[in-house]
Structures are given as structure tokens and as C-alpha cells.
Amino acid sequence: MSQSTKKGGLGKGIRALLNNMEQDINEEGSTLPSVAQEGMVNRIARIPIAQIEVNPKQPRHDFDEAALQELAESIKLHDIIQPITLVKVDVDKYQLISGERRWRASQIAGLTDIPAYIRTADGQEMLELALLENLQREDLNPIEIGLSYKRLMEECNLTHEEVADRMKKERSTVTNYIRLLKLPPDIQKAVRDKKISMGHAKAIISIDHADKQLYLFREILQKGLSVRQVEQMVKSLSTDKPSPAIPATAPAKLPAIYKKIEDDMASLFATKVTLDRKKTGKGNIMIEFYSDEDLERIMQKLSL
């Protein structure tokens, strides 16, 4: 089998699945058979909500409660228009492949059963189907997209190029989303919460050092900087002179208790802090800053 055939196989399978779902919906109309009937695999049926469990490979974790309430109100009036997709895992037990948002809203709406397309799938198919459905139909935030792409690579043994092929995206797009996962946790959370944009995050990630990334992040929040302004700051920081060279004899590794103190101080001042302690108990602390305003901020922390 050629590489191109292998890479395109899943995509064709998914397209066939979605086409079959549309055909079944058209054939069944609004009257769907009960799950008690036999031969329901690869067909649509109404499944008791209590028999459905969440897919542990679901890439989405954040759900807008207000949006769920709105969808629930719509479901009360019109029922579920687009069936969810399930895989049968045991007697009277099903697992979500896609449609968790509709399933959650149906629970809020008080439904006892829900129309679902029932199919068979192995672990990798379930992951890829869930990822594809979410990436194409749901409003995932950039961090969730990055995590989804990363999971495809790690759990399905795919390269950046193969993930891009699966998702019909440019390879650079996939790479940019995955790179976001290298940002400090505080910045990732801000991206998830839409406090900063994908453009801001892409500009920040182009700086290697976490302390400088946090400095840019803080400037964005405090000053409401545009993406273009952040890109200009990145250029400025990139042309700064490097820190003084480390002595030929590197300092001894800090004991754990002093390393924690160093980390706590870095968190307090939101910048890089270097603690040097000698065996005699003497030492020094270096607190980095990147502008006069940054220095003033640190001085306020010190109450100077």
C-alpha cells in the first residue's frame, strides 16, 4: 500500500461515515427505532441517556454553560436535529464518539433518550472520529486544538504532516497550534479563557525564555497591546544583549529547599530570579527586568 493511500484511507472512511449518517437520517425521518430492536449497529436509534458514557478520548473539556442552556432550550422545542454518534461497548452501554455538547444539553433539557448513530470502532478510530468531529464542528479554543493534534501524533503515531493531511490543514498551522503547548501554564490558561488571542500567543512563543514570555504576557494584559505591538516588543527583546557569561566553573546545584525559594521568588516577581548560595551561607539574588516600567513594577513589589 502506498503512503498516499494509507494517509487518505481514514479521511475517506470518515466521509463515508458522515454520508451514511445523512442517508440514514433522511431514510428514518423523525420516527427512529428503539434500541431494543436488533441489528441497530451502523443505524440510527433512540438511546436512553442513562446508558451513555463520555468518551475518555474526547478532546474537548471546556463547555460554555450559557451556550449549553441555550441549546437545551432549543432541544425542548425541537428535540435533537442532528444525532450524536455512539459505539456500543457492552449490553445496554454506549460510549460517545461525538456529540457530547448535544448529549449534555439534552440532559439539561430533561430528555430521557436521544437519537444516535450507533457504529463499531476501535480505540484509534474513536479518537480520530472524536477529534475530527470536534475540530470541524465545535468551537474549540487554540489550546484544545493543540492538545487534539498532539494526541493524534502520540496516540495514533502520526507526523505533523499526516495530522495536517487528516485535518485538511497546512502543516505550519498544525505546528503552530502544537507549539502553544510549550507556553507557561498561566499563558495557556489565558488563551483558553480568551484573555489573549492566538496571534498574541504566537508572538509570545517566538521568545525562548519563559521569563520573557511572562513579561510579554503581563504587558499585554496591563496595556491591552495589539498583536503588532507585541511582535515589535519581541523584536526588541530578541536584539537585547545576552546576560553576562556564566563563569567557567558552574555554581553547584541548589539544594531543593533553596530551589523552591528561587521558584517562589520568580513567581512573586513574575520574572527570572537567580539565587546563588555558597556553602558558607552567603550568596546573592539576581532579579531580571526588561524595561524601566518592569523595574518600577518590581520595586513596588519590594515596597521601595
Return the sign of the alpha-carbon dihedral for residues 133, 134, 135, 138.
Answer: positive
* Nearby residues of 242 by Cβ (< 8 Å), 6 or more positions away: none
3-state secondary structure of 167: helix
Q: 227 Cβ partners below 8 Å, 6+ apart?
A: 197, 199, 200, 203
R_g (Cα) of the chain, nearest Å:
26
Cβ atoms 99, 44 nearer than 8 A: no
Grid coordinates representing 142?
Answer: 487554540
Q: Which residues are catalytic?
A: 100
- Cα distances (Å, whole numbers) of residue 3 to 6, 39, 162, 255, 284: 5, 35, 10, 52, 58
Q: Which amino acid is at 142?
A: P
SS3 string, 102-161, reads HHHHHHHHCCCEEEEEEECCCHHHHHHHHHHHHHHHCCCCHHHHHHHHHHHHHHCCCCHH
Closest CA to 270 of 206, 199, 221: 221
State the burial class of residue 24 (Cβ atoms within 10 Å of its Cβ: 0-12, 13-18, 19+).
middle
- Residue pair 205/143 in contact (Cβ under 8 Å)? The answer is no
Q: Which amino acid is at 194?
A: K
CA dist 161 to 165, 168, 204, Å? 6, 10, 24
